[in-house]
Amino acid sequence: MMAEEENETPLGKDAKLRRLKRRIRERWLGRSGIHGVGVRAKEDAICVYRSGRGHEESEEEIEGLRQEVKPHKLIVVEEDAPSILEKKDRDRDGWSGKDV
């Protein structure tokens, strides 16, 4: 009974989401255009970052991922992975990669 009560606390929920994130990252990173996995605890969600180009055929796989994360939500963010050059420039002098 005590373990069930602990899982209901926000801390228990966060830990469960972090474990799920690790499992999703191990199984899905690099598949279906997925290049990043995160947690949005306030939304009780796993967030995957996915390159939208050339991966339209993988919608069935994304639906499978959606079933895997249930009862939590799955948020899919369509964006390209940052390039190595963009990361270097962003890290140097706080440059964001966008001209103002």
55-84 pLDDT tens trace: 666 788 889 999 999 999 999 998 887 777
The region of weakest confidence among 20-24, 36-40, 90-94 is 90-94
Report how far residue 46's alpha carbon sits from residue 64's, in angstroms, rounded to the nearest whole number. Answer: 14
- Is this prediction's pTM over 0.95? no
Ordered domains of the chain (ranges, CATH): 2-94 (3.30.300)
In the chain, the percentage of residues whose pLDDT exceeds 90 is 46
How many angstroms separate the Cα of 84 from the Cα of each of 31, 38, 55, 62, 100? Answer: 20, 20, 22, 26, 21
- In degrees rounded to 5, what are phi and psi of residue 75? -110, 125
